[in-house]
Amino acid sequence: MKKLIATTALCAALPMGAFAQDKPDSLKVGMTTFLTGPASVFGVPARDAMDIMVQNLNDEGGINGVPVEVSYIDEGAGAEALTSEFRRAVEQGGAEVMFASISSGNCQTLAPLAEDLEVINFMWDCGTQRIFEEADYDYVFRTQANATPEMLAAVIYLLKTQPDFETLAVVNQDYAWGRDSWDIFRTALMQFKPDVEIVGEFFPAFGAPDYSTEISRLQALQPDVVLSTSWGGDLDTFVQQASQRGLMNNSTFVLPLAESSLERLGSALPPGQIVGARGDHYFLHPERRDDEDFKSFMSQYEDQTGNITVYSVFHASQALAALEAAYTKAIEENGVEWPSQEQVLAAMDGLEFQGLGRPVTIREDNQGIEAQLMGTSAQNGDYPFATLENIMIFDGAELTAPVGEVSTDWIETLGPEFVDEIEPTTFEN
Amino acid sequence: MSSVTTTAPATGSSPAALSLLWIAGVVLLAAVPFLAPNLQLLVNFALAKGLAVVGVTVLLRAGQVSFGHALFFGISAYIGAFVMASVPGMDFFGILIAGTLGAALAGLVVGLFVVRYRGIFFGMLNLAFSMIFWSILEKFYHITGGADGIRLTRPTVLGMELGRDAFELFLYYTAIVLVVGLGWFTIRWFASPVGQLFQTIKTNETRLEYLGISPRRAMLSGYLLSAALCGVGGILMATAQGVVTPEYVWWVRSAEMVFIAVLGGAGSVRGAFLGALIYEFVRTYASAYAGDVWQMLLGAFLLVIILFAPGGIIGIFERVFARGKGTS
Amino acid sequence: MNLTTFLLALFDGVSYAALVFIVALGLTLIFGVMRILNVAHGSLYAIGAYATVSLVGWVLALGAAPILAFPLMIVSAILVGVLIGGPVEYLLLRRIYDKPEVLQLLVTFAVFMILEDVQRLVWGTQPYFEAQALRALGNVTVFGVTYTVYQLILLPLVALTLLVGLRFFLRRTVTGKLITATTEDREAAQSIGIDADRVFLLTFVMGAILAGLGGALASPTTSILPGMGADMIVLSFAVVATAGLGQIEGAAIAALMIGMGRSFAIYIWPEVAVLVPYLIMVLVLLVRPEGLFGSPAARKI
């Protein structure tokens, strides 16, 4: 104990961080991710992938010869530990860039903190569209889409593939994401297809172990479509219980986050259900799967973890790609060995980078524009779990609320013709 | 950390020397922002939690354990967030008072029900009330922000807009003043007639009744004090954190408070702060250096304390100090 | 609400109550005999589920029939009870029977914290799902709504069997009577030659087996993931406190009340469904502080 504190105090006294323009020994990055708690289904794969990708990057000489060093902070250890660790990473750990975080709630806590600490922060996975719609940030960027394009892609895919459905019920987790995503989905659906009847809205508690009663009610209501934006164990439980009781025989499920559960669900996810991936994130990405870098990463990842990737791996790859792109661009633009923070910030403006999916660009409000992939589940025997067919990849720019507009207000200006105006790239599988 | 050894109670011999050490401990805490600025926020959290733990400690003096005192911690924090959201530019002292009064009021309402119960029933009923409030916070998402909670923007201080650093420094010293002030008040309260009656509940409640005193009324006064202390802790935590979430009220948080109270030395006010400091350090450093097993380390730490040092850390210190006195 | 939906809600309530009751049964047994509220009960429940998933997954991968999952559930429950429950009682709880209630409770809380991390170290953080046992029993359709036989028929049957079996064990067998005697008066029991230490060990292991069995039986219906124990423990606390601590039949009634309350809430007013168990608990305790069936003076099981 005493020793620990003494060491920390000593570290605090030492001069830290590199002077701008001097090449540092390493580029230190702090990444918050869930190593414990339910959301570790995203956090642990993202960390594993980040370790692999950082290793690969450093093997090739890092960024302009400077290796990247990532340290992880557990989002599952509670908000106090998270904020103090975040500060420690910046103030004592010498982190030049932070990747925070998975949870939208944590993003909302850490974004203003990063702004106060004047540290560059990439919101690498959280979905809430509110942050940039409610305030302007200089140091905070989002290296992926927000909830608006994610939900719009799901609505449009549903309307393009099953234009004639009449009734819909929703079963979402009872927390911000479940509520917000339903707000966006419902608003868009009502604009695009106002005659749809919403026959049931259920918000079982986050982490609920049992959906039997909800499923009984859904069987009595017989909606054409059942929407659930749940994820992780909750989604697994809901889909398993629904499939055990044959609910999917009569209703089509729309599951915008089910890409992350495909492998775990195995044969329990019947064919014909709509699956999304919070971006163009799919281990068999139709445009990317034949690319060398994509293939080699996927096999590396599978070797090390024994699993296929989930979307958080793609989000991690985008954060790292953004880091590399921003520093490289800043170095080139300024003709320096190593950029200052202002130079990196300047390079973020309109930055384009490519992780494992399609290229992503940073918009002027610091929001990333990311493509969206939706598909329909198929059990074709290639894998012991469902894969996707009838895939559509949507361009992110058309689906994201324009700069300075609030998502739900913007969606209310759209009409049914919007669905036809959007022309995604389609793939059979 | 030397403040650990200086915040000892003035029991045993040589109270003057001990209170001197106690004062030195406070001075050392006050020096943290200059000696070890990176520990400032951590200590601030610990002090905020410590105040809530004193609330739990008060009830321990009457032999009662509440497994739901995070309720008052959370109520006060949420009141602070709501007031800040509805009255922009609200002053820190405004929300401090509003939060504490709110917690005390909630303490009165809940207290009127629970003071009739003792032992495990008292603990369970408190747990039930806190879980109801927790469910409401999670459920009424459009008002409470659900599991993501609400942001609590930085309040002004006596009309001044402070930057983060200045505000945190202000908050830190306010926390120290409140800890010393309220800690002193609680110790005085234990010694007061009401406090004495209150503590009799632990040893002999029937005697109180024979004396013609209502044990419920004595219990209620202690319950109010404990709720208000949790309220002060909650508002300090919420302003330091900048966000309030339903996790403030979750049963594990209540259990943690009891955990810290026992760790520090059940029934000791100074022990509560000592326990909170140590708990916060262990938790933060264990989660930083042993990410996957921090709960396990804390659990093992608690087991060791209960099995081998039932008097808590303050008890260890007392023994060491008494032995030191004997030999020197 | 017409008769059909009423019956549907009733079915859902019963199958949910059955599972909660099985977990609460172990908790109330331990409290009734040992006067310890075991917070670690939730962890034992979770570990029971994890152990079942691993064991069933392994055995079925060897090509065994899915029906074999049922005996494996019992095996996992016994493993949990003996390998974890036994040492916890023998090494930890035994040292603190003379300590205040708070400390006893905190010891189990510490065990809970330790076991939560043990689960994560052993089984990782990814959710598991192993529903072979449930699928093996098939479905049954009532009023056009499909239920699984497992949830609608098997779980309530198991709960009922355990309730009757435990009653019989405590009142009709010698070991059961020894336990009851120790509960009534520990010192008197010891003076007539009952080994109270053994009785306590036996009780705790039995309680732990019941927790593990609850987890094992829950495993085909739900995702097994970190944190599942923390949720279950509060729910079973609510059942046990509502019933009156140590009341076995009471726990059955309380579990039914909570299960029904929840499922009817989902039909009538889904927003309050999560509040129902705690509301029932508070209302009952405010009217009857000792719980529905508890008596303030005598301990009974």
DSSP per-residue letters across A290-307: TSHHHHHHHHHHHHHHSS
Which residues neighbour A46 within 8 Å (Cβ) at sequence distance 6 or greater?
A33, A102, A125, A312, A313, A315, A316
pTM: 0.83
pLDDT band of B288, cuts 50, 70, 90: low
Q: Which residues of B touch C283 (CB under 8 A)?
A: none
Tokens representing A278 are 């919070």
Residue C227 near residue C235 (C-beta atoms within 8 A): no
d(CA A227, CA A250): 14
CATH class, A2-142+291-369 region: alpha beta
Alpha carbon of C111: minimum distance to chain A alpha carbons (Å)? 18
CA torsion through residues C180, C183, C187, C190, sign: positive
Write the residue in A174, A213, A247 that is nearest to C263 by C-beta: A213
Average pLDDT over residues B278-284: 84
CA torsion through residues C21, C24, C26, C29, sign: negative
Q: Which residues of B touch A36 (CB under 8 A)?
A: 291-292
Element holding B154 (H helix, E strand) = none
- Displacement of CA C58 from its chain's centroid (Å): 25
Residue B230 lies in a domain: yes
Q: Which residues of B touch A75 (CB under 8 A)?
A: none
A219 Cβ under 8 Å from any chain C Cβ: yes
Alpha carbon of B115: minimum distance to chain A alpha carbons (Å)? 31
CA distances to A30, A50, C25 from A33, in Å: 10, 11, 38
Residue B272 lies in a domain: no
pLDDT band of A4, cuts 50, 70, 90: very low
Size of interface A-C (CB pairs under 8 A): 116
Helix, coil or strand: residue B220: helix
Average pLDDT over residues A302-310: 94
Q: Identify which has the larger pLDDT, B148 or A12.
A: B148
User: Which domains does chain C possess?
Assistant: 3-287 (1.10.3470)
Which residues neighbour B271 within 8 Å (Cβ) at sequence distance 6 or greater?
B9, B57, B261, B264, B265, B312, B313, B314
Q: Identical fold at A2-142+291-369 and A148-280+371-427?
A: yes
Tokens representing C153 are 């028929």
pLDDT band of A6, cuts 50, 70, 90: very low
Neighbours of A138 (CB within 10 A): 12
Residue C158: predicted pLDDT: 96
d(CA C270, CA B138): 14
Asked if C146 and A205 come within 8 Å (Cβ–Cβ), the reply is no
Residue C140 near residue C134 (C-beta atoms within 8 A): no
Average pLDDT over residues C44-55: 95
pLDDT in tens, C243-260: 887 888 999 999 999 999
| Res A299 pLDDT > 80 | yes
Q: Which residues of A touch C135 (CB under 8 A)?
A: 244
Residue B151: predicted pLDDT: 80
d(CA C2, CA B255): 44
Residue A401 carries which DSSP code? P
Q: Which residues of A touch B41 (CB under 8 A)?
A: 83-84, 87
Residue linked to tokens 């598991």: C128
The CATH classification number of A148-280+371-427 equals 3.40.50.2300
Q: Which residues of A touch B294 (CB under 8 A)?
A: 77
Residue linked to tokens 């800040």: B84
d(CA C41, CA B162): 48
Asked if A109 and B151 come within 8 Å (Cβ–Cβ), the reply is yes
Alpha carbon of A212: minimum distance to chain C alpha carbons (Å)? 7
Q: Would you kindly state where each structural domain of chain A is located, as residue ranges?
A: 2-142+291-369, 148-280+371-427
- Put residue A381 in one of left, alpha, beta given phi > 0 → left and psi -120 to 50 → alpha: left
Neighbours of B136 (CB within 10 A): 17
Which residues neighbour B236 within 8 Å (Cβ) at sequence distance 6 or greater?
B44, B47, B48, B51, B171, B174, B175, B178
Residue B143 lies in a domain: yes
Write the residue in C95, C118, C289 that is nearest to B307 by C-beta: C95
Write the residue in A5, A73, A105 that is nearest to B147 by C-beta: A105
Domain range spanning residue B230? 14-249
Tokens representing A140 are 């905070």
Tokens representing C104 are 């006893």
Alpha carbon of B300: minimum distance to chain C alpha carbons (Å)? 7
CA distances to A42, A263, B177 from A209, in Å: 19, 20, 46
Residue B323 lies in a domain: no
Q: Which chain B residue has its CA at the smallest distance from C91's CA?
A: B307
Q: What is the ipTM of this complex?
A: 0.81
Residue B74 lies in a domain: yes
| Res B7 pLDDT > 50 | no
In degrees, to the nearest 5, what angle opens at C-alpha B16 toward C-alphas B12 and B19?
85
Size of interface B-C (CB pairs under 8 A): 110
Residue A162 near residue A390 (C-beta atoms within 8 A): no
Residues of B with CB under 8 A from a CB of A: 1, 35-39, 41-42, 45, 135, 138-139, 141-142, 145-149, 151, 163-164, 237, 241-243, 245, 247, 278, 280-285, 287-289, 291-292, 294
Asked if B252 and C230 come within 8 Å (Cβ–Cβ), the reply is yes
Residue A121: predicted pLDDT: 97
| Res A343 pLDDT > 80 | yes
Residue B324 lies in a domain: no
Q: Which chain C residue has its CA at the smallest distance from B137's CA?
A: C275
Residue A275 near residue A377 (C-beta atoms within 8 A): yes
Write the residue in A37, A237, A245 that is nearest to C148 by C-beta: A245
Residue linked to tokens 């009610």: A217
Write the residue in B39, B147, B294 that is nearest to A77 by C-beta: B294
Q: Which residues of C touch B63 (CB under 8 A)?
A: 100
- Displacement of CA B257 from its chain's centroid (Å): 7
| Res A286 pLDDT > 80 | yes
Residue B285 lies in a domain: no
d(CA C252, CA C255): 5
Residue A204 carries which DSSP code? P
Number of domain units in chain B: 1
Residue B318 lies in a domain: no
**Preceding peptide of A312 cis, ω within 30°:** no
- Displacement of CA B125 from its chain's centroid (Å): 20
A104 Cβ under 8 Å from any chain B Cβ: yes
The residue among C3, C119, C126 with the most chain A CBs within 10 A of its CB, best to mutate, is C126
Pairing of strands A27-33, A68-74: parallel
Amino acid at residue number C300: K
d(CA B262, CA A73): 29
What are the DSSP E strand ranges found in A179-233? 197-202, 225-227
Q: Where are the alpha helices (DSSP H) in chain C?
A: 3-34, 41-61, 69-80, 86-87, 101-123, 132-137, 149, 155-172, 174-184, 186-191, 196-218, 228-243, 248-268, 276-287
Helix, coil or strand: residue C292: coil
Tokens representing C95 are 């040292």
Residue B125 near residue B113 (C-beta atoms within 8 A): yes
Which residues neighbour A38 within 8 Å (Cβ) at sequence distance 6 or greater?
A206, A207, A232, A233, A234, C225, C226, C227
pLDDT band of A19, cuts 50, 70, 90: very low
Tokens representing C198 are 């053994």
Average pLDDT over residues A156-182: 92
Alpha carbon of A427: minimum distance to chain B alpha carbons (Å)? 37
Q: What share of chain A is helix, strand, coil (3-state, %, to 5)?
A: 45, 15, 40
Tokens representing A354 are 């490519």
Residue A355 carries which DSSP code? S
Alpha carbon of C53: minimum distance to chain A alpha carbons (Å)? 13
Write the residue in C39, C114, C120 that is nearest to B300 by C-beta: C114
d(CA C248, CA C164): 10
For chain C, report the end-to-end CA distance as a whole number of angstroms.
38
Residue B17: predicted pLDDT: 67
pLDDT band of B324, cuts 50, 70, 90: low
Neighbours of chain A (3+ CB pairs under 8 A): B, C
A71 Cβ under 8 Å from any chain B Cβ: no
Asked if A209 and C145 come within 8 Å (Cβ–Cβ), the reply is no
Alpha carbon of C266: minimum distance to chain A alpha carbons (Å)? 7
